[in-house]
């Protein structure tokens, strides 16, 4: 029996143990996966203790993705570009391989599960924090016609755009930079939803046919998705599919087999009232 865990603070809300239990059952893999609450000042010590006890890998959630990046002995290209690690694999020699599966999880959910084409489309992304940094490289790899990052503090969006300019046509600015912009897909990567709020967006931001995606998820539509419906979005989706897809990437890294995600998403998706 191999042991894995998701580490965070807080952690009680995590769906990861159920997701990986469903993956293990589906693929016939013998493993145990649990949620571990690490002290805010004790992430590295928690990881080292679990490795010493024989754990083979970890998912990492807030607020430890930056610390996991530093702790990893080796980084994948995706993790290096993201500047954060959400998956650690314990190699046979005990070294830690750091990966970031958030971006590929988002892109897989958009393109495969939702059928949203990114190539040659205009994409707008709200926010300039770690969540957005983690998904930019995979989004740009899909070949959009343009990707614009908008953030309350425009300088942070502009800095992100410069950091990823070598990967494709990406620009950044403050929320006023959204005025008059056309897009095919609007992605919310801000944390405003934690307070059930929406960034101050132009009322005419959504033109006919625009899809809206919130990287957050919940049992009810997020504030951003409610705003999107009220302003005429063609389709809306939350980040539950992204959560399951990034978990599947982690599972594949650890076990060498990628589980089917659609059945798991169906199990986890709450019935909307």
Q: List active site positions.
A: 65
Token pair 């009680």: residue: 12
DSSP string, 7-28: EESS-TT--HHHHHHHHHHHHT
Angle between helices 240-255 and 16-27 (to 10 degrees): 50
Q: Phi and psi for 41 in degrees, rounded to 5?
A: -105, 20
Cβ pair 84, 62 in contact under 8 A = no
Judge contact between 95 and 74, C-beta under 8 A: yes
- CA 21 to chain CA centroid, nearest Å: 20
Q: Compute the distance between CA of residue 14 and CA of residue 142 in angstroms, rounded to an integer.
A: 29
**Cβ atoms of 43 and 236 closer than 8 Å:** no
Q: Reduced to 3 states, what is the DSSP secondary structure of residue 180?
A: coil
Question: How many alpha carbons lie under 13 Å from residue 18 in its C-beta half-sphere?
Answer: 13
């Amino acid at each position: 029996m191999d042991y894995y865990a998701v580490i965070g603070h807080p952690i009680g809300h995590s769906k990861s143990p159920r997701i990986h239990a469903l993956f293990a059952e589906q693929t016939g893999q013998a493993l145990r996966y649990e949620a571990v609450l690490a002290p805010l000042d004790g992430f590295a010590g928690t990881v080292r203790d679990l490795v010493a006890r024989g754990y083979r890998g970890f998912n990492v959630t807030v607020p430890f993705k930056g610390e996991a990046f530093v702790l990893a002995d080796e980084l994948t290209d995706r993790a290096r570009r993201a500047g954060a690690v959400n998956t650690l694999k314990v190699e046979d020699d005990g070294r830690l391989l750091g990966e970031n599966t958030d971006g590929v999880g988002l892109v897989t959910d958009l393109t495969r599960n939702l059928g949203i084409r990114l190539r040659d489309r205009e994409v707008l992304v709200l926010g300039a924090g770690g969540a957005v940094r983690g998904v930019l490289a995979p989004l740009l790899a899909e070949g959009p016609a343009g990707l614009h990052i908008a953030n309350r503090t425009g300088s942070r969006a502009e800095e992100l755009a410069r950091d990823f300019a070598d990967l494709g046509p990406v620009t950044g600015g403050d929320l006023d930079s959204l005025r008059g912009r056309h897009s095919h897909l609007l992605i919310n990567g801000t944390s405003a939803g934690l307070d059930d709020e929406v960034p101050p967006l132009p009322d005419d931001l959504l033109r006919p046919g625009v899809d809206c995606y919130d990287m957050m998820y919940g049992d009810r539509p997020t504030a951003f998705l409610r705003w999107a419906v009220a302003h005429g979005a063609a389709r809306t989706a939350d980040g539950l599919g992204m959560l399951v897809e990034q978990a599947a990437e982690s599972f594949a890294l650890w076990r060498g087999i990628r589980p089917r995600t659609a059945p798991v998403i169906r199990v986890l998706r709450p019935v909307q009232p």
